[in-house]
Amino acid sequence: MYVMRCSKDDVFKQGRLNRYANIEMSPSAGVLNYGQGIYEGTKANRTEDGRILLFRPEQNATRMRHGAERMLMPSPSIQQFVDAVKETVFANKRWIPPPGKGSLYVRPLLLGTGPILGLAPAPEYTFVVYASPVRNYFKEGTAPLNLYIDEEFVRASPGGAGGVKTITNYAPVLKAIARAKERGFSDVLYLDAVNRKYLEEVSSCNIFIVKGNHISTPAATGTILEGVTRKSILEIARDHGYQVEERAIPVDDLVGADEVFCTGTAVGVAPVGSITHQNRRIEFKTEGSLVCKELYSTLVGLQTGRIEDKKGWTVEIH
């Protein structure tokens, strides 16, 4: 794993690879007491001809910098972030699954590790990158997801930190997810905190709805995370000739949708078979020629080197 440290008023300078091990820190570390931490997620894939590709790592670096500013933390430069990811992947390359069998998931962390008792920014920060081989995120694999709209819990509110990948956004959704899974659902789809009528996102992925040639996704207005996969699918959909719109999507719009799908680094592009809201189950097309499969095929083709990358999205690791 890669480790780099810096103090509060300094900049990150030089990190190094260490063996994967526990991180030692004070019980009064800012991250442990006040949740001053953010994380990222990206994947490395092995191509049929043996190359190793990263997908748009500079987008994750930019998002981490944006998150660090919100959480009052110093952050690595874009180049430092990308180089750290490359080094970590190269050092762990024997763990990258064969083509089609999975990916090496890469997890960069930025943590306030310095001790601070009062509510204030930590005096020292640690940037860590580790990795693990992964297969499908949802245990259904490529089977359609069945989502549940929870009326009680919200994921984020205006003025909060829902638009950045802070660690504090994730533990609060665990209860909602557990409740949904007890009822047989895959995950939770959250509504906005103010009106409780507009779609926001799923616990760990963005949502899209398809109607005819139109593809819509909730606009990123500070409460949803601007996913790298989301951004890529928006561009791929435009390339494929679809009318793409980022807008406020009322929950009632689900009724007329042809298809619904989720996007994220972990899930890729996952079709949604049904969404249950107020005891009403709305079902969507999941068989035959699907828009989400067409878009996912292009995305995976780029990520795995099967399609020529004319966008400069992939980074080869030597």
Contact 160, 208 (CB under 8 A): no
The CA-to-CA distance between both ends of the chain, in Å, stands at 18
Q: What is the DSSP secondary-structure string of 36-101?
A: -EEE--EEEEE-TTS-EEEE-HHHHHHHHHHHHHHTT-----HHHHHHHHHHHHHHTGGGSPPTTS
d(CA 111, CA 81): 14
Nearest to 114 by CA among 201, 23, 13: 23
Q: Can you give the pTM of this predicted structure?
A: 0.96
pLDDT digits (tens, 9 = 90+) for 196-251: 999 999 999 999 999 999 999 999 999 999 999 999 999 999 999 999 999 999 99
pLDDT digits (tens, 9 = 90+) for 267-287: 899 999 999 999 999 999 999
Q: What pLDDT is stored for residue 277 in this prediction?
A: 97
d(CA 233, CA 299): 7
Angle value at C-alpha 263, between 71 and 178, nearest 5 degrees: 75
Q: What pLDDT is stored for residue 163 in this prediction?
A: 96
Nearest to 271 by CA among 281, 252, 258, 280: 258
Give phi and psi for 78, each to the nearest 5: -60, -45
d(CA 212, CA 259): 9
- Torsion on CA atoms 136, 137, 138, 140, rounded to nearest 10: 0
Contact 262, 205 (CB under 8 A): yes
- Give the pLDDT means over successive 10-residue stretches in the chain (318 positions): 96 97 97 98 97 98 98 98 98 95 96 98 98 77 89 94 96 96 97 97 96 97 96 98 98 97 93 96 96 95 96 97
**300 CB contacts (<8 Å, ≥6 apart)?**
268, 306
- For the annotated catalytic residues, the residue numbers are 165
Percent of the chain, pLDDT > 90?
A: 95
d(CA 105, CA 253): 34
Q: What pLDDT is stored for residue 111 in this prediction?
A: 98
Q: What pLDDT is stored for residue 216 in this prediction?
A: 98
